[in-house]
């Protein structure tokens, strides 16, 4: 039996298309997202554009559960979107991910955070 997802979820790719530890850029219904596979069956999705400047976070480096912006080094928590320190001060939007039967589905509705994310 296949789990039911709400209509905000979009089929993006197969899990095997994502290498562990290597961020990938995806267009999810017109939203640029950085997809990050951090473990065999764990994928995170955040808005691809750094909240400090127009830089692609999918070109950054993974460090634990943070994604480091390559330009000035702010590190965004992949679960909360919150930057660990300046120059970025605003969190990036975080999107729910569901892995079903080896396929990665991402919602276009961001997870609510305590601060207003860029979306
Ligand atoms: S552009 Fe990302 S931290 Fe400055």
pLDDT digits (tens, 9 = 90+) for 28-80: 999 999 999 998 889 999 999 999 999 999 999 999 999 999 999 999 999 99
Domain assignment present for 2:
no
Domain assignment present for 4:
no
Domain assignment present for 118:
no
Structure pTM? 0.91
The CATH number assigned to the domain holding 22 equals 2.102.10.10
User: 67: Cβ below 6 Å to ligand 1?
Assistant: no
Spell out the residues 6+ positions from residue 71 whose beta carbon is closer than 8 angstroms to its own.
50, 52, 53, 55
Range of the domain at 22: 9-107
The encoded tokens of residue 103 equal 């396929």
Domain assignment present for 18:
yes
Confidence of residue 1 (pLDDT cuts 50, 70, 90): very low
CA distance 65 to 25: 17
Domain assignment present for 72:
yes
Ligand 1 centroid–CA 82 distance in Å is 13
Among protein residues, the one with the nearest Cα to ligand 1's atom 3 is 72
Domain assignment present for 117:
no
CA distance 88 to 69: 9
Domain assignment present for 115:
no
Domain assignment present for 114:
no
pLDDT in tens, 15-35: 999 999 999 999 999 999 999
**Domain tally, the chain:** 1
């Amino acid at each position: 039996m296949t789990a039911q997802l709400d209509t905000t979820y979009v089929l993006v790719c197969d899990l095997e298309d994502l290498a562990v530890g290597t961020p990938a850029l995806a267009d999810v219904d017109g939203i640029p997202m950085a997809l990050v596979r951090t473990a065999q069956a764990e994928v995170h999705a955040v808005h691809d554009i750094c909240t400090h400047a127009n830089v692609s976070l999918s070109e950054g480096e993974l460090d634990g559960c943070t994604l480091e912006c390559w330009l000035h080094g702010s590190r965004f928590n992949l679960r909360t979107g919150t930057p660990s320190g300046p120059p970025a001060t605003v969190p990036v939007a975080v999107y729910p991910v569901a892995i079903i039967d080896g396929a990665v589905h991402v919602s276009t509705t961001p997870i609510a955070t305590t601060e207003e994310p860029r979306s």
